[in-house]
Structures are given as C-alpha cells and as structure tokens.
C-alpha cells in the first residue's frame, strides 16, 4: 500500500514539476509581458503568443485552457476563445493566491472552469508572472492560470496497480475534494479519513458500513494534495499469508539452487586455476610463448584472458626492448659517423670568423659564431637531458642567425626565471617550436613581428611558452593542428611539434606535453609542460651565462 501511494506521489510530482517548468518560461516571452502590461500588440505578436501556448498544450495534452490575467484583474488572453463569461469567485481566488504566493505556483485543486459556464470540472494551477530583464523591478506583471483535465491523474492511478484487487486509491485536494479515484467513495467516509489524517496519523484502521479497513495516506508538499490507499482487512491478511508462503517457497528454492551453484563453481574454479598454475611454472622457465586455452566467460575466464594478454605483452616488450637496443646502437654508430672530425669544422668556422672581423663584417661574423655554437651544441655529448640555460643559449645563437636573415622584421624577447635555468629539459626541445613560430607566425607578415619566450616554475612544474603575434589560426585550423600534433601520425608540417610532444610524454609521463592556443589575427602561444627537476647546488654554478647577438 505504502509503495503504491509513494509511486503515485512521485508521478504527481514529476508531472506537476514539468508543467511548472514550462510555466516559468512564460516570464521570458516578451510578447506575453507586453500583453500583460496593457500594451498594444501586433497581429504577429498575437500569433506568436498563440503558437507559444499551442506548443505548451501539445506537450501536455491534459491542458484544458490557459488564461493570462493582468495586474488589474482583467483577463487579457484565453487559449480557448470565450464569450465573456467569467466565474468571479474563481477569478478572485486566483488573484488572491497569486498575491499571497508571488514567488511560486499554487494548485487550487478541482473546481469550475474560469471562463466556461458549462463543462467538466478542472484542476487549476495559478502562478504570478514576474517582470524580467533590465529596468524591471521584478514585481508581478500578471497571473498565469493553467486548467488541466483531471483525467490525467486517473491515468496515474491506473499506472500504479496494487496487489490488492479491492483497493481504493484516491487523490484529494487541499479543500477535501476528490480529484481522482479508482472507486467511488462516500463523503462521510472521506471526512473521517481527512480528520484522522489531519491529526498527523498516516496509517490507521477504519470501520465503515460494518467492515474494517486499513488506511494509508501521504501528503504532497508540492501541491498540498493527499493520496490515500484503503484496503479491506479481509483482503489484506489473506494476501499477506499468500505472500508469506511465496517467500518461504522462494527461499527454499534459492537454498537448493545455491547448493547446486556452489558445487558447480567449485568444479569450475579448480580446473582453470590448475591450468594457470602450470602455465606460470613455464613462464618461470622463460617460456613467454605459452597460452592457456580458454573457453569460459566467467571471472576465471576473464582472468585467463588477462593472463594470456599479459604473457603476450611481456613477449612483445622483450622483443621491443631488444630491437630498441639494436636501434640505439645503430643510432650511436650513425652519430659517430656523422661527427667527422668536428674540431676541423670548428677551426674552419673560427678561421672564417677572424677573416670576417679583419674586413669589418661584424654582422656576418656574429652569424658564423652562432653557427659554430649551434654545431658544437648539436653534436657534442650524449646527454638526453640538459639544463634549460644551455638550451636557451642554443636558442639565442639560433635567433641571432634568424635576425640577420630577416633583418628588422624579427623582434625577440626572453624572460627566463633564474630558478628555471637549472631545470633539466630534453636536448633540442625548443628549436622546433621557435622555428615554427618564425616560419608560420613572423614570415607571412609583411612588417614582421615579435617572438617572446618565457620560462618559469609553477607548482613544481616547468612551463615554457613560445608566443608570436602572427596571423594566428581560426578555430577550425586550431583543431586540425591539435589533432595532427596529438596523433601518432599526421600532416608532415606538424611533425616537429608532434615529435616534441611525444618526447615530453616519453621522458616524463602522459600528464606532460605540449599545449597550443591561438586566435585568428592575434597570434599563437605554445606551452611546454614538464617536471621542474633541477640540478644540484654544485651543478647550478655556471648556468647563468648567456650569449648575445649584436
């Protein structure tokens, strides 16, 4: 019984709140507000209001009529045309309720229609329509009255069947009038139920016409209505006995099934576990090719699948590590082959530099010095991680060459925190980003532009940004660029940025990498995020130096 009326109460709330939410939107309808303010509205606005409430009525087929009443108590609009009849008492009740509760809706319960002298009773909802927007005081501009066919609530009763065939279920409004019931109930009986319920008693026994009944009631805080469920005790106890027998039967069957299931589980578990143990012993011997045959789909079956996957993964990783070591050795060999007498190259560039200085070609001399620094940094040492200060010096040399190439079209600035200079970063991680900023951000601009490089520590992370004021990217271009950078393969013009992103993730983990922000005609910002791992105090000495490009 309690479950039945609880379900009905929930259905009432669900239905009522949907009506309320749609009613709340009326305050946002400009044409409706102008109508309530007694303004002259156009035929187009009138048609718009009709269409507004047409959509409302189509969503809620139970709507019988809709009225809009202005602040003077005049009916400004009715969804169903009427010939001037107005129930004065009903109108007074609507305006009074809206005045008493201006901030929320009121459900008057069942009664006569407001503007129809004949017709079935309706359930009425009243809500003040408050002004919205700039310049408004927020006060009520009028009243929205929605009249509903009570048959909708009869449907709620039918959708919530009880296990008792002779059960009475009824919905009563706050005036004690029946909104809906599955069986006719006398008012004398209802008065006594209302009296007991009003005393705070929610479940009680009642004697009526020589029969004993059990009554269960529930109050609805949204509408102020009450839902009652009434069952004869003659029906209640036999039903309880049948329920008890059904429960005992189900328990006995459940115990029997549990015993059978336990035996099956015991057998099912032991065989696959034995196979897994045998396979594990083979792995201990170094056999990573073994696979356990699996035909089941239970927990052990999934465990076996995971075991097979793990073994395959280990075998794959062993091969991958082996191949990676071979590739690393080949790369080292190629690097050694590429370093063909680097001292000869340094000495040659140094000789060219002195020759240029002798003839007064200082700009070209700076470029040659920068080129020598770049060559030395690129092929010197095998360190994977270097202090940021070394990377910055490398970029200064690179920018020196670019400035001479682009002349006065390229302006640069660097803001590197002292603490950040000692942080370890992957070698040659900045050059692709700076090159990309110059190529796509500065060169397309006739008058040139600016590249700004900053680095600092934030929450134990090192953040490096490369910013240009170039043409930037439209949102669609930005999404395509991000997709190319974050994918395993993509457009060749994004390979440098994609490699930087992959290197950061491989070195430091999946949570680190590269982020791109851009606005059309405003420029692009690329941010590299990595752990702020710093050198020791002894190692930090000597990281403050920097080179200049004259």
For residue 187, list its beta bridge partners: none
Q: Do both 4 and 135 map to the same domain?
A: yes
CATH number, domain with residue 94: 3.30.450.20
How far does CA 163 lie from the centroid of its chain? 42
Q: Is residue 221 part of a domain?
A: no
Is 432 part of a structural domain of the chain?
yes
Task: Name the domain boundary from 336, 364, 382.
Answer: 336
**Residue at 226 is within a domain:** no
Number of domains in the chain: 3
The tokens of 469 are what? 């004021």
Nearest 5°: the CA angle 222, 155, 4 is 65
**Rounded to whole angstroms, what are the CA distances from 38 to 51, 128, 335, 364, 529?**
20, 16, 87, 83, 62
Domain end among 147, 170, 187: 147
Note the maximum CA span of the chain. 128
Are 317 and 414 within one domain?
no
Q: Is residue 161 part of a domain?
A: no
pLDDT of amino acid 202: 75
Q: Which of 115, 119, 98 is nearest to 107 (CA)?
A: 98
C-alpha to C-alpha distance for 393 and 388, rounded to whole angstroms: 9
Across the strands, what pairs with 212?
Answer: 207
Give per-residue pLDDT as tens, 84-130.
Answer: 788 888 889 898 888 888 888 888 888 888 888 877 889 988 988 87
Residue 275 inside a domain? The answer is: yes
Contacts of 252 (CB under 8 A, 6+ apart): none
pLDDT 10s digits, 192-233:
788 877 777 778 777 777 778 888 888 888 888 888 888 877
Give the domain extent around 441: 409-531
Geometric angle at alpha carbon 216, from 212 and 219, rounded to 5°: 145
Element of type H or E holding 72: none
Q: Is residue 520 part of a domain?
A: yes
Residue 398 inside a domain? The answer is no
Q: Which two tokens stand for residue 341?
A: 């007498």
State the Cα–Cα distance between residues 265 and 194, nearest whole angstrom: 57
CATH of the domain at 486: 3.30.565.10
Dihedral angle, C-alpha 476, 480, 483, 485, nearest 10 ° = -130
Give me the pLDDT at residue 392, please: 95
Give yes or no: residues 140 and 11 share one domain: yes
Measuring CA to CA, how many Å separate 260 from each of 142, 266, 300, 301? 71, 10, 19, 20
Q: Which residues of the chain have a pLDDT value below 70?
A: 1, 27, 38-39, 131-139, 158-165, 185-188, 236-241, 268-269, 322-324, 326-358, 360-366, 368, 372, 379-383, 489-493, 536-550
Residues 550 and 362 sit within 8 Å (Cβ to Cβ): yes
545, part of any domain: no
Helices (H) and strands (E) in the chain, counts: 16, 17
Contacts of 335 (CB under 8 A, 6+ apart): 379
Q: Are 98 and 106 in contact (CB under 8 A)?
A: yes
- Listed residues 271, 305, 336: the one ending a domain: 336
Q: Report CA-CA distances (Å) from 351 to 360, 364, 378, 398.
A: 14, 13, 20, 20
Residues 137 and 17 in one domain: yes
């Amino acid at each position: 019984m309690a479950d039945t009326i609880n379900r009905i109460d929930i259905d009432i709330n669900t239905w009522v709140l949907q009506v309320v939410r749609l009613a709340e939107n009326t305050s946002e309808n400009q044409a409706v507000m102008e109508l309530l303010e007694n303004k002259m509205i156009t035929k187009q606005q009138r048609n718009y209001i009709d269409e507004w409430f047409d959509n409302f009525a189509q969503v809620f087929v139970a709507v019988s009529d809709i009225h809009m009443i202005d602040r003077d108590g005049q009916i400004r609009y009715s969804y169903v045309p009427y010939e001037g009849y107005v129930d004065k008492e009903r109108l007074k009740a609507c305006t009074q309720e809206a005045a008493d509760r201006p901030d929320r809706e009121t459900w008057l319960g069942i009664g006569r229609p407001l503007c129809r002298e004949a017709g079935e009773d309706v359930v009425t909802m009243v809500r003040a329509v408050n002004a919205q927007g700039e310049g408004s005081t927020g006060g009520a501009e009028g009243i929205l009255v929605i009249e509903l066919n009570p048959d909708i609530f009869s449907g709620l009763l039918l959708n919530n069947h009880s296990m008792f065939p002779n059960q009475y279920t009824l919905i009563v409004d706050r005036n004690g009038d029946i909104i809906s019931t599955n069986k006719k109930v006398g008012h004398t009986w209802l008065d006594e139920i209302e009296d007991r319920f009003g005393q705070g008693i929610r479940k009680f026994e009642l004697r009526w016409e020589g029969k004993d009944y059990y009554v269960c009631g529930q109050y609805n805080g949204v509408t102020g209505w009450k839902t009652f469920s009434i069952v004869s005790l003659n029906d209640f106890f036999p039903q309880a006995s049948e329920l008890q027998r059904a429960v005992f039967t189900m328990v006995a069957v459940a115990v029997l099934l549990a015993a059978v299931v336990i035996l099956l589980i015991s057998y099912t578990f032991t065989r696959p576990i034995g196979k897994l143990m045998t396979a594990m012993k083979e792995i201990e011997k170094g056999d990573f090719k073994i696979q356990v045959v699996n035909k089941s789909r239970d927990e052990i079956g999934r465990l076996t699948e995971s075991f097979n996957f793990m073994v395959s993964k280990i075998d794959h990783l062993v091969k991958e590590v082996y191949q990676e070591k071979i590739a690393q050795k080949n790369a080292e060999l190629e690097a050694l082959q590429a370093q063909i007498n680097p001292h000869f190259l340094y000495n040659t560039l140094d000789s060219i530099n002195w020759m240029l200085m002798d003839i007064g070609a200082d700009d070209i001399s700076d470029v040659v010095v920068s080129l020598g620094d770049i060559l030395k940094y690129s092929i010197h040492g095998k360190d994977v991680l270097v202090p940021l200060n070394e990377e910055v010096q490398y970029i200064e040399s690179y920018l020196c060459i670019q400035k001479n190439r682009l002349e006065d079209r390229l302006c640069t600035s660097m803001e590197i925190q002292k603490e950040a200079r000692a942080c370890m970063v992957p070698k040659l991680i900045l050059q692709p980003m700076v090159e990309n900023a110059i190529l796509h951000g500065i060169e397309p601009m006739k008058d040139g532009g600016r590249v700004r490089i900053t680095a600092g520590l934030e929450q134990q992370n090192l953040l490096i940004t490369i910013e240009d004021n170039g043409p930037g990217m439209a949102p669609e271009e930005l999404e395509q660029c991000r997709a190319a950078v974050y994918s395993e393969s993509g457009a060749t013009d994004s390979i440098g940025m994609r490699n930087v992103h992959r290197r950061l993730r491989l070195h430091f983990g999946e949570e680190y990498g590269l982020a791109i922000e851009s606005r059309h005609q405003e420029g692009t910002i690329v941010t590299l995020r990595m752990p702020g791992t710093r050198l020791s105090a002894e190692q930090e000495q000597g990281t403050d130096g920097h080179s200049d490009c004259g």
